[in-house]
Chains A and B, each alone.
Chain A
Amino acid sequence: MRATTIATPQTAGATGAETPIEAQGLAVGYGGRPVVTGIDLVVGGQTSLALVGTNGSGKSTLLKSIMGLIPPVSGRLEVFNAAPGSSAVRLAYLSQAHTAGFVLPLRAIDVVRMARFSARGLARPFTSEDHDLVAWGMRTMGVEALGSHPLRSLSGGQQQRVFLAQVLARRADLIVLDEPTAGLDAGGRERYLQAFAGELERGATLVTSTHDIAEAVEYDQVLLLARRVVALGPGREVLTADRLLETFGILLRDPHKEHAQRFVVAEVAHGQPQVIDVGPEQAP
């Protein structure tokens, strides 16, 4: 995902510019046990970073650490040049597993309105700006007609759109999405890509985890994870056959198409890394 405006170059130290994410020798994990170690990472303003890796490769763990939900195991991690989670108003986060019980009596619009709680605190009433952002978020994700529907009556894809509308309505400077396209249909995916390209253009920084190599290649930076850092760099340089093999353990390759984004990646939990050649699809 690339903003049409050119990403601002990294100006470390110059004019006191702040850095959305900066990690040095970072190890992240739970209860002092590291899941991924040795992360060195600088994500500048208005740039996009995709985390690519299998389930259990540490993507979600790193995202949670950036959001300040779990403390780093060791090393240094700063978000907007401060401790992670210390600037709540500037953050937006979409978690992967929604624990939200289906008993929760909420309408879709109530879920999107929650986005504005961080800006208004405990008691300050919503302003017209808040209502505008809520309406805009729902319109952008195409769920404005579902506002008064109970959340539990919506399909998985519709719920995901509502959650993405909530993220948009936060109008955050750093947007972190854990597998945002899960459950989205083609239309939802298209709206998602457009909406968050727009967020980049507005000046936000975007960090996303994904299984989709074709999508990841569009990002400014790609971080390949396999419980360690396999590679970090621009998508077109990082997403090579060897590295994908290292990350996922198995590749399904169309021998006639050598571009990285043509690789189909499958996961094997155990076993030897392998490349499987598949023939070109027959044209109908």
Chain B
Amino acid sequence: MLRALAAGILVSVGCAIVGTFVVLRGLAFIGDALAHGVLPGVAAAMLLGLPGILGAAVGAAVMIGGVSLVTQRSRLSSDSAIGLLFVGMLALGVVMVSGSSSFSGDLIAILFGQILGVSAESLVLQAVVTAAVAVVAFVAARPFLLLCFDPELAQVSGFSARRYHALMLLLVATVVVVSFQSVGTLLVFGMLLAPAASGALIASRLPTMMAIAIAIGVVSTYVGLWVSYAFNTAAGATIVLVATVIFFGVLTAVNVRGGLEARTEPLPETGA
């Protein structure tokens, strides 16, 4: 249980950091693509007797490559093609897992995680990777902020927009790949979005947003684990459910407060 809590908190921190950029850069699509792409990768790795995390990394890379290829090549609306790519990868993963009788029960584990069965080694790996992601995000904070604000401004400021965008995607992929064991490939997407989106609603500064996202992620993990223990529900899904409920709670609160403020406190006009 303590190990599950530690794993959940590490997932929360990693997802909050990169989720902030996913939300602000509008990369939810890519996050979704990664979550779908990881599944067949993991399945293939298991069939070949390789570590699942390696397969997840390859799957993520294939998916990012596939999405950028479709986006560049297709002149028509690319979302149908990308949507098919997602479903195709997901179906491929399920077919691969179901075709081999030896680990049919693992499908649920891959999709929804097994936070209660996280090994000590993967916990250490997760800690190291999360720390690395945090360091990179800290060092690249200025170009990342410019990129969120306006990619052209990043370019004109001397930071290669393409290079830092690629670095950002790499961070997202890294977090998805190391997190899938705990909360699963489908639910890691929820942990990427829900806490960061809640933070975006409240915060007026980027560091504050990230801190709020981390806090919400950690609280969701704690509450989710407790609820799943008390009511015998699936741990990973419960954690994500709590994070999502918090998001809609914050959304409602902000809207109610915003409605009140708009009536009572108009902004000062700038003098000419």
Contact = CB atoms under 8 A, between A and B. Distances in A.
B72 to A, nearest CB: 11
A110 B205 contact: yes
A120 B26 CA distance: 27
B149 A93 contact: no
Interface string A82-94: 0001001101110
A256 interface: no
Given A93-B152, A106-B205, A118 B24 contact: no
Interface stretch (A3-11, A96-104, A197-205): A96-104
Interface residues of A, number: 47
Given A69-B155, A95-B150, A114-B149, A103 B139 contact: no
A229 interface: no
A104 B158 contact: no
B272 A190 contact: yes
B132 interface: no
Nearest to A146: B270
Nearest to A95: B152
Interface in A118-161: 118, 120-123, 142-143, 145-146, 149-150, 153-155, 157-158, 161
Given A142-B272, A188-B272, A95 B153 contact: yes
A258 interface: no
Given A69-B152, A99-B150, A154-B267, A122 B209 contact: no
Nearest to B142: A117
Contacts of B270: 142-143, 145-146, 157-158, 161, 187-188
Given A142-B270, A146-B270, A122 B139 contact: yes
Contact of A117 (B23, B146, B208): B146
Interface in A60-118: 64, 67-69, 85, 88-89, 91-93, 95, 98-101, 103-107, 110-111, 114, 117-118
Nearest to A189: B272
A153 B270 CA distance: 13
B80 interface: no
B157 A122 contact: no
Nearest to A153: B267
B143 interface: yes
A165 B142 CA distance: 19
Nearest to A89: B158
A186 interface: yes
Contacts of B24: 101, 103-104
A242 interface: no
A104 B158 CA distance: 22
A191 B271 CA distance: 11
B257 to A, nearest CB: 13
Contacts of A98: 150
Contacts, number: 105
A185 interface: yes
Interface string B6-24: 0000000000000000011
Contacts of B230: none
Contacts of B209: 105
- Output the residue of A103, A150, A187 with the most chain B CB within 10 A: A103
A153 B261 CA distance: 11
A149 to B, nearest CB: 7
Could you tell me the dominant secondary structure of chain B's interface residues? helix
Interface residues on B, range: 20 to 34
B272 A100 contact: no
A122 B140 contact: yes
A123 B141 CA distance: 9
Contacts of B152: 64, 67, 69, 93, 95
A134 B157 CA distance: 16
Contact of A122 (B23, B143, B205, B206): B143
Contact of A106 (B143, B158, B206, B268): B206
B200 A103 contact: yes
A176 B45 CA distance: 52
Contacts of A107: 204-205
A100 B150 contact: yes
Contact of B145 (A89, A93, A114, A120): A114
Nearest to B206: A105
Nearest to A158: B270
Contacts of A99: 150-151
Interface of A: 64, 67-69, 85, 88-89, 91-93, 95, 98-101, 103-107, 110-111, 114, 117-118, 120-123, 142-143, 145-146, 149-150, 153-155, 157-158, 161, 185-188, 190-191
10 residue pairs, one from A and one from B, having the closest CB atoms = A187-B272, A88-B158, A118-B157, A105-B203, A150-B204, A93-B156, A117-B142, A105-B209, A103-B200, A118-B158
6 contacts: A85-B155, A95-B150, A98-B150, A142-B270, A187-B272, A191-B272
Given A123-B139, A153-B267, 5 more contacts: A69-B156, A99-B151, A110-B205, A145-B270, A187-B272
